[in-house]
Amino acid sequence: MEKVNIKIDGIEIQVDKGTTVLEAAKKLNKLIPTFCYHEKLPIFGGCRMCLVYDVKARRSIIACGSYVYDGMEIETENEKVKEDRKFILEMLFTRHPLDCPICDKAGECDLQNWGTYWGPQNPVLPITPFEKIREEVDWESDYLEYVSNRCVLCMKCVSVCDNINQSHSLYPLERAFETLIDPVKKPMDTSSCEMCGLCVDICPVGAILFKPFKYNARPWLLNETFTHCSICSLGCPVVIDHDGKKIYRIRSTAELEVCAKPYLGYDSFNTNRLKTPKINGENTSLDNALKQIAETVNKNPSKTAVIVSPYLSNEVLESINSFGLLTTSIITLDVVPLLEGFGDYKPPTQEEIKNASHYIVIGDDITLTNPVLTYYMKKKVVYIGESLGRIKKLYPYFIQAKGREIIEKLKEVAQEGSVIVYSSYFYGEDARYLGEVLKNLEVEKGCKIIISPPYSNAFGVVNYIKNIYPITQIFEKVISGEIENIVMFGEEISLVVEEEKLKEILNKLKTKILFTPFEDGLALISDVVIPLNTWIEEDGHYDFLTGQRKSKASIKPIYKNSDVLNKLKSMLQLNNLKIDIKPFDYSIPDWILKYQQDIWDCSYFSLRSENLTNWKLKNLGVLDEY
Ligand code: SF4
Ligand code: SF4
Ligand code: SF4
Ligand code: FES
């Protein structure tokens, strides 16, 4: 790469040709104010807040959109630059209401911050700051609100929706002072908008607000935890705003990777939480509950099975594995046979995914199962599946197919350089067959394969539970009376087993033991119930698509999962354990339901989100209208 030598505020620095002045200044930790710039978005150059002085050209230039040249000399703090910044701020304050005391962005607002550094915050024109110039626009949304007079017209909201989420849900309406930001379709909640919240997070002022957060808390009173979302297998970097007891928001980092599942669905972690162990519905001590579990299991360990959730951390899975009990999970329906058919699976790197020449998406719509994966996909997309839903936003070449026909069509269209993207759709033998086909395409045609389960830690279950048995066979053993006790972690079984069959299975059991975050659902019919922490309350590692990452806890848990499981392990005596299971059988009985994923229905905890549920109810029946 060709280098150029430049000077910034008298300091010499060598940078790559093609670097912008702003990027070069960042290397020297120079603070240059911006409104319309974001490193992940195309340069817009509209706000002029980043003006600096080019000594050789003897004029002010924008730092975000000007490229360095050899011998360039830049001043970022001279009197001219300060005057320029003050003038831009005065222009903005002419129309911007000074309503910081009631604005939700106060404390994290760029206009407030730059005004403090480079103000004064006086308007240049003799109109009152409260004078109404622009029309108010109602986005007709329960979640997002636009306050037109606060908008500084940086266009980052439109750009992030077009270039990152790619759902193209916003556009600028009118021109000049009258410019407004409007959704392409109203009501917004039934439009192509995916409620990712990126437009809210990126807005430098309080012009786009997240209604569920509005007037709930001041950002400076909350703690920020930088962690990884552990809802699907992508593990996106997110920030959790909380006070140690309650979550107020989950939002994107500067990486701009977040979807509605945590953004709208954060409320599920505050809802109906189980706070104390219970025996037969009555509160009890942890010791009592563990004693009861140990007595039940020790009496006849071979008659006990454990169902693990694909949302548990590796640490919890490792503890459960060390019990040595017969263990299963709902992922034996789909991910386990798929990986068995595939053999040794190594996902492509994030760079390989992003730099693909084209993508072939098969099965379920990944806009619903792993929404952020679609943010990476900026090239040609082929979609082979049953119907076109939200994935329409990527303008795919659509091949309509159903069942194994999808796999046969894939074999026809896959070619060298194809990145094949699969999240979910196939169960049992079909999943195993898909695994074999994907392996062949990898070996013979050099395709890259992305297997991105809708659950956060399916790979962790495969890696940490050494002997995992098909869940259908475990249920058959319950019905035949060979298994009498089940220890469940999470509640996925209620999503994949047909209701009458589930009742039959649960009624057959002598003891139902449940580790759950919630006091409702299966907790109401279980004999022993123990609180289970999610990724929000306990640190843990997860084997995401892009590698193992740590999710950091934000809320203080009542008990630590690891302490509870270690205590239980010390009470278990599994001397008579005999695990007798016939050869694996991946056939899928008709009482197994397809775990239907959507942005709003994605896990047993997201189903408890009031925000996601209301959004879903508003959308029933209107999805075809995008
Ligand atoms: S919430 Fe996301 S999808 Fe909806 S308008 Fe904002 S950026 Fe676009
Ligand atoms: S709403 Fe916010 S992000 Fe969008 S143009 Fe206005 S100030 Fe910029
Ligand atoms: S794509 Fe998956 S990991 Fe990323 S924010 Fe959405 S649910 Fe979380
Ligand atoms: S940040 Fe450079 S013009 Fe807006």
Q: What is the CATH number of the domain that holds 67?
A: 3.10.20.740
Ligand showing the shortest atom-to-Cα distance for residue 202: 2
Please compute the mean of the pLDDT values over residues 73-91 and round it to a whole number: 94
Specify the pLDDT at position 125.
Answer: 67
- Closest approach atom of ligand 4 to CA 50: 2
Give the phi and the psi of residue 529 in degrees, each rounded to 5: -130, 135
Reported as a single tens digit per residue, the pLDDT across 14-69 is 999 999 999 999 999 999 999 999 999 999 999 999 999 999 999 999 999 999 99
Average pLDDT, the chain: 93
Cα(158) to ligand 2 centroid in Å equals 8
Give yes or no for residue 234 CB within 6 A of ligand 3. Answer: yes
* Whether residue 368 is found in the same domain as residue 433: yes
Q: Which two tokens stand for residue 88?
A: 């831009």
Give yes or no for residue 21 CB within 6 A of ligand 4. Answer: no
Specify the pLDDT at position 465.
Answer: 96
Please name the residues in contact with 174: beta carbons below 8 A apart, sequence gap of 6 or more: 180
Give yes or no for residue 309 CB within 6 A of ligand 1. Answer: no
Specify the pLDDT at position 124.
Answer: 65
* Whether residue 533 is found in the same domain as residue 486: yes
99 part of a folded domain? no
Specify the pLDDT at position 574.
Answer: 82
Q: What confidence tier does 128 reach under pLDDT thresholds 50, 70, 90?
A: low
Q: Which two tokens stand for residue 64?
A: 């975000």
- Closest approach atom of ligand 1 to CA 263: 1
Give yes or no for residue 64 CB within 6 A of ligand 4. Answer: yes
157 part of a folded domain? yes
Please compute the mean of the pLDDT values over residues 360-367 and round it to a whole number: 97
Specify the pLDDT at position 130.
Answer: 53
Rounded Cα gap, residues 112 and 547, in angstroms: 39
Specify the pLDDT at position 176.
Answer: 81
Please name the residues in contact with 405: beta carbons below 8 A apart, sequence gap of 6 or more: none
Rounded Cα gap, residues 574 and 294, in angstroms: 10
* Whether residue 205 is found in the same domain as residue 320: no
% of the chain exceeding 90 in pLDDT: 85
Our mutation pick for probing the ligand 3 site, out of 226, 227, 232, 240, counting the most ligand atoms within 8 A of Cβ, is 232
Give yes or no for residue 434 CB within 6 A of ligand 3. Answer: no
Give yes or no for residue 372 CB within 6 A of ligand 1. Answer: no
* Whether residue 587 is found in the same domain as residue 484: yes
Give yes or no for residue 96 CB within 6 A of ligand 2. Answer: no
* Whether residue 595 is found in the same domain as residue 472: yes
Give yes or no for residue 259 CB within 6 A of ligand 4. Answer: no
Specify the pLDDT at position 155.
Answer: 97
* Whether residue 330 is found in the same domain as residue 343: no
Specify the pLDDT at position 182.
Answer: 96
491 part of a folded domain? yes
Cα(143) to ligand 4 centroid in Å equals 29
* Whether residue 315 is found in the same domain as residue 363: no
Q: Pick from 270, 293, 309: which residue ends a domain? A: 270
CATH of the domain at 399: 3.40.228.10
Please compute the mean of the pLDDT values over residues 164-168 and round it to a whole number: 98
Cα(304) to ligand 3 centroid in Å equals 34
Rounded Cα gap, residues 244 and 364, in angstroms: 37
- Closest approach atom of ligand 4 to CA 51: 2
User: How many domains does the chain fold into?
Assistant: 4
- Closest approach atom of ligand 3 to CA 372: 1
- Beta strand 237-242 with 247-252 is antiparallel
CATH of the domain at 586: 3.40.50.740
Our mutation pick for probing the ligand 1 site, out of 41, 143, 170, counting the most ligand atoms within 8 A of Cβ, is 170
* Whether residue 190 is found in the same domain as residue 249: yes
* Whether residue 408 is found in the same domain as residue 484: no
* Whether residue 136 is found in the same domain as residue 49: no
> pTM to 2 decimals?
0.95
CA dihedral (20, 23, 24, 29) in degrees, to 10, reads 150
101 part of a folded domain? no
Give yes or no for residue 25 CB within 6 A of ligand 4. Answer: no
Candidates 279, 292, 300, 298; CA nearest to 484 is: 300
Q: Whose CA is nearest to atom 4 of ligand 2?
A: 157
Statement: residue 487 has pLDDT above 90: yes
Cα(420) to ligand 1 centroid in Å equals 26
Q: Can you list the pairs that 172-178 forms with residues at least 24 positions away whose Cβ atoms lie under 8 Å? A: 173/137, 177/95, 177/133, 177/134, 178/133, 178/134, 178/135
Statement: residue 588 has pLDDT above 60: yes
623 part of a folded domain? no
Q: Whose CA is nearest to atom 6 of ligand 3?
A: 259
* Whether residue 198 is found in the same domain as residue 346: no
Q: Whose CA is nearest to atom 1 of ligand 4?
A: 34
Statement: residue 626 has pLDDT above 50: no
Give yes or no for residue 157 CB within 6 A of ligand 2. Answer: yes
Domain range for 151: 125-270
Give yes or no for residue 599 CB within 6 A of ligand 3. Answer: no
Cα(527) to ligand 1 centroid in Å equals 44
Neighbour count for residue 351 (Cβ, 10 Å): 9
Please name the residues in contact with 488: beta carbons below 8 A apart, sequence gap of 6 or more: 306, 307, 512, 513, 514, 515, 516, 522, 526
* Whether residue 544 is found in the same domain as residue 565: yes
Cα(33) to ligand 4 centroid in Å equals 8
Specify the pLDDT at position 595.
Answer: 77
Candidates 600, 491, 602; CA nearest to 143 is: 600
Our mutation pick for probing the ligand 3 site, out of 230, 249, 258, 536, counting the most ligand atoms within 8 A of Cβ, is 258
Our mutation pick for probing the ligand 4 site, out of 20, 32, 35, counting the most ligand atoms within 8 A of Cβ, is 35
Rounded Cα gap, residues 380 and 387, in angstroms: 18
CATH of the domain at 216: 3.30.70.20
Q: Pick from 252, 270, 288: which residue ends a domain? A: 270
Give yes or no for residue 160 CB within 6 A of ligand 1. Answer: yes
